[in-house]
Amino acid sequence: MKYRSFGKLDWKVSALGFGAMRLPTICNDAAKIDESEAIKMVRYALDHGVNYIDTAYPYHGGNSEAFVGKALKDGYRENVMLATKMPTWLVNSWQDMDKYLEEQLQRLKTDIDFYLLHGLTKERWQKLQKLDVTGWAEKKKD
Residue 7, strand partner residues:
none
Domain count, the chain: 1
Show the domain range for 88.
3-141
Q: What is the mean pLDDT of residues 109-123?
A: 97
Residue 19, strand partner residues:
54
The H or E element spanning position 15 is: none
Q: For residue 141, is pLDDT > 90?
A: no
- Among candidate residues 59, 76, 100, 115, the one labeled active-site is 59
pLDDT at 142: 79
C-alpha 56/C-alpha 108 separation (Å) is: 10
3-state secondary structure of 29: strand
Is 33:60 a contact under the CB 8 Å cutoff?
yes
State the CATH number of the domain containing residue 19: 3.20.20.100
Is 58:66 a contact under the CB 8 Å cutoff?
no
* Per-residue pLDDT reduced to its tens digit, 84-97: 999 999 999 999 99
**59 noted as active-site residue:** yes
pTM over the 0.85 mark: yes
